[in-house]
Structure 1
Amino acid sequence: MTEDRGLSENSALIKICGIKEEATLRGMAGLRVDYIGFMFAKSRRQVSPERAAQLQETARSVPMAGGKPPLTVGVFVNPTIEELEATLSVVPLDVVQLHGEETPEFARQVRERLNVEVWRVFSMKDEENSADGAARLASYAGTVSTVLLDTAGGGTGRTFSWDVIPAYRQAADSSGLRLFVAGGLSPDNVDKLVAAYRPEGVDISSGVETDGAKDIGKIAAFVERVNNA
């Protein structure tokens, strides 16, 4: 079950992904950050389970806005159940985010066997029909809590065509799923996204970095833009 973060119904939840340093977490103290993400898939932001456990411990000691620490999300691409079990035995994540070709049945197994919240990423390809994608989304009803729309390839710093969002939003609402949006977001465009499409949440990584490192000033600006949208 998704935890109530104590936000108004009009507030988009915020996830900052690709966390690698304790200093980033400490710098976010007092900001409204609801989720932080650790990359376990191959990436320049990849961390080991042991490193993620250290970061999670720090995160739990850093009060965000409202006094609550952020929930922790692990990002995986086509993992096995055994790999997830091994990772969660080291770092007890709040959420497993599946970013590959994982089926609804696999997502169900993860949720039931590991007793963890599961999110499913949909990669937005320019040639994909949004009606077909929305139908595919509905197949995850009852297996995941959240669907996250991202630019194909992930971590590209590019947005996808936002005009497909309403079809996915309607399908998510009908299926009892939350809809998050990622892909090319930044402090310069997130207010436009939130104001126009009202996703339940937004997810950012490279858009709050400078020279490949998380930038507290950009994170603060991003949070402010979401809050004011």
Structure 2
Amino acid sequence: MTKIKICGIKRIEDIQFVNKYKPQYIGFVFAESKRRVSVDQVRYLKQGLDPQIKTVGVFVNESIDKIVEVLAECKLNCIQVHGDETPQYIDTLKGVLGSQPAGKGVEIWKAVRVKDEKSIAMLKSYVVDAFLLDAFVEGSYGGAGKVFDWKLANLAKSCGRIFVAGGLNADNVSNAVEASRPYGVDVSSGVETEGCKDESKIRCFMDKVKGVDNCEVL
């Protein structure tokens, strides 16, 4: 079954939507973004979250100390680093998390902006729990609403679990899943209307993903 991550959660209404439709993951953005949330916001929102839904904290070129601080306050399940983090940074982060009570069992995901096959080749340098493949857009670390060649994700699967992101919505997610058969898909702006999560778009997006999975079973 293709996992679904809905990123950019920031309102209590968003929590109500995800509790109703049950994506496997939701993302809280701690990096500079119009969807950025504070530690206090996340702690409040998590109070009403279905505990079966896993939480992902999204960071861009953040200090490891800050990530550990946020993790301790918010009790996240996964850390997604979405910037220029090196393999050495990941190794250090992994070691620090392993030594912290709040870091036990926390997954580390590395986001990679995909431009061509060379972008995929760099994945081999990282040892992480999952990769999130986003579209390469000059000057942007993500959230630009652009797609990449989904077939490139097939090349990445030998490196581990793959999430496909970048410009996904209910109109194209079926094609993305069929083209790459990823571990999961990630969506943010594709389930929004005027900058806010839209219940009908979330439902439709998830139905399209489940539809591809059901066809595969048949």
Q: Does TM-score exceed 0.5, indicating one fold?
A: yes
* Residue of structure 1 in register with 2:132 after alignment: 148
- Aligned residue in 2 for 1:4: none
Whether 1:209 aligns to 2:192 is: yes
1:160-180 alpha-carbon deviations (Å, 9 max, x no partner): 1223222222x32xxxx2010
Output the amino acid matched with 1:118. Answer: I
Q: Report how far residue 158 of structure 1 moved.
A: 1.4
For residues 121 and 17 of structure 2, the distance between their equivalents in structure 1, rounded to whole angstroms, comes to 41
**1:26 paired to 2:9:** no
Match of 1:71 among 54, 60, 71: 54
Identity fraction in percent? 41
Quote how far apart the aligned CAs of 1:226 are: 0.4
1:157 Cα offset (Å): 1.2
SS in 1 for 2:185: strand
Asked whether the equivalents of residues 134 and 168 of structure 1 are also in contact (C-alpha less than 8 Å), the reply is yes
With normalisation by structure 2, the TM-score equals 0.88
User: Which shows bigger deviation, 103-112 or 147-156?
Assistant: 103-112
Cα distance change of structure 1 residues 112 and 56 upon mapping to structure 2, 3 Å threshold: farther
Give the Cα–Cα distance (whole angstroms) in 2 for the partners of residues 193 and 56 of structure 1: 30
Code of the aligned partner of 1:94: N
Post-superposition offset of 1:151:
1.2
1:166 is aligned to 154
Q: Does 1:133 find its partner at 2:116? A: no
Q: CA, structure 1 residues 211+165, in 2 after alignment: closer, same or farther (shift >3 Å)? A: same
1:137: how far off? 0.5
Match of 1:195 among 170, 178, 181: 178
How many angstroms apart in 2 are the aligned matches of 1:213 and 1:48?
A: 17
Structure 1's consecutive aligned runs of 4 or more residues displaced over 2 angstroms after TM superposition are 27-30, 132-135
Stretches of structure 1 that go unaligned for 5 or more consecutive residues are: 1-10, 63-67
2:24 is matched by which residue type in structure 1?
Answer: D
Counterpart in 1 of 2:73?
90
- Structure 1 window deviating more from structure 2 (86-95 vs 215-224): it is 86-95
Q: What is the RMSD computed on CA atoms of the aligned residues?
A: 1.4
Query: Which residue type is aligned with residue 147 of structure 1?
Result: F
Q: CA deviation at 1:91?
A: 0.8
What is the TM-score with the length of structure 1 in the denominator? 0.84
* SS of match in other structure, 1:134: helix
1:42 aligns with 2:32: yes
Query: In structure 1, what is the Cα distance between the partners aligned to 2:178 and 2:148?
Result: 17
Aligned length: 201
Name the aligned partner's letter for residue 164 of structure 1. Answer: L
Contact conserved, 1:28 with 1:220, CA < 8 A, in 2?
no
In the TM superposition, what is the alpha-carbon distance from 1:203 to its structure 2 partner? Answer: 0.2
User: Which runs of no fewer than 5 residues in structure 2 stay unpaired?
Assistant: 98-102, 213-218
Q: Which amino acid aligns with 2:155?
A: A
